[in-house]
Amino acid sequence: MASAPALATPSTLVDRHHRAIRYLRISVTDRCDLRCRYCMAEHMTFLPREAVLSLEELAAIAGRFVDRGVTKIRLTGGEPLVRRNMMTLVEQLGARIGDGLKELTLTTNATRLAHYAAPLAAAGVRRINVSMDSRDPETFRYITRHGDVAQVLDGIAAAQAAGLRVKINMVALRGLNEDEIAPMLAWVAAHGMDLSLIETMPMGVIDEDRADRFLPLPEVLARLKGQFDLVADSYDSGGPARYWRVGGTDSRLGLISPLTNNFCASCNRVRLSTDGRLHMCLGHEDSVDLKAAIRDGGLEAVDAAIDRALAAKPERHDFRIEAGAAPAVSRHMSVTGG
């Protein structure tokens, strides 16, 4: 029997604003074992199993993005490490490193990282982001509603022991963890890690008003410059952060400030959600359905859907935070992926 013809590789990924897309973020699950107050409501309804892309479908779609020029993939959630058999996906994607893919990374809350750190490193992951908004046990438990920061610290230690470079992601929250930001930066610098500070984003309905906790990062940076020797750094991780080198250390401080310092002009990324929708922008509702495409028409249909998405990618997001205002987008961050 004659073999099937190889699928032709279409053009590389360039959106209508002439930006090359080189970065794909994949939310492998909308589920999480924490309930961070700025991210989720306390009582969440998660997607049924049939609405979620299978790991095989995720691998096939991700591989197609690599074929078309994506060089970096980040696996996110929810919490990616709660997805059953997650390591099979990591291993499949890790096999593409050096074959189109330059980097495979992961964002995790680290509650299960102590178990997965060594396998992640063996699969080709070299650096990870850990979401941790406080090192104080009581504050951490309040923000996450029930989390144990000791689990996270154990996961970080295991990651470093496995040779993974760790960056801490900390959402800056007025009146809640703002007094911990400078100590957090000192701690990460002392332990050879990096720190990214993030402005809270208006995504999904939660139980609180985000405007009450919004802390502008230019305000935070001004305070930190009074305590640390911070020098602007041209380092580019492929994401939206702007970086400063922490003097006398090997650590960097990154600021992700979608509300006070729009970074959309250089956007190089798209996001694949848990339910198979390709989101061209975190701050817009528009998307195309890659789940329907791959299930009904295979990778050729996926290519066509990707092309439609690129033609519709907006120039910038519409994030804003105002007291009492509805979220900029209705979906939660855990569905889209951070």
DSSP class of residue 50 equals G
CB 39 within 8 A of CB 333: yes
Q: Is 270 annotated as a binding residue?
A: yes
Q: Is 167 annotated in some ligand binding site?
A: yes
Please tell me whether 192 is known to bind a ligand.
Answer: no
Contact 83, 29 (CB under 8 A): yes
The reply to whether 32 sits in an annotated binding site is yes
The reply to whether 269 sits in an annotated binding site is yes
335 known ligand binder = no
Flag whether 74 is marked binding. Answer: yes
271 marked ligand binding residue: yes
Would the annotation count 264 as a binding residue?
A: yes
Q: Is 69 annotated as a binding residue?
A: no
- Residue 36, annotated as binding a ligand: yes
Look at the block and give the residue holding tokens 């591989």: 63
Q: Is 19 annotated as a binding residue?
A: no
Cα Dmax for the chain: 72
281 is in an annotated binding site: yes
Tell me whether residue 298 is annotated as binding: no
**What's the rounded Cα separation, in Å, for the pair 42 and 294?**
34
What lies within 8 Å, CB to CB, of 275 at 6+ separation is: 30, 47, 51, 52, 53, 291, 335
Is 78 known to sit in a ligand binding site?
A: yes
Q: Binding site for S-adenosyl-L-methionine: what residues are annotated? A: 38, 78, 131, 201
Q: Binding site: what residues are annotated? A: 25, 32, 36, 38-39, 74, 78, 107, 131, 167, 201, 264, 267, 269-271, 281
Q: Binding site for [4Fe-4S] cluster: what residues are annotated? A: 32, 36, 39, 264, 267, 281
Q: Binding site for GTP: what residues are annotated? A: 25, 74, 107, 167, 269-271
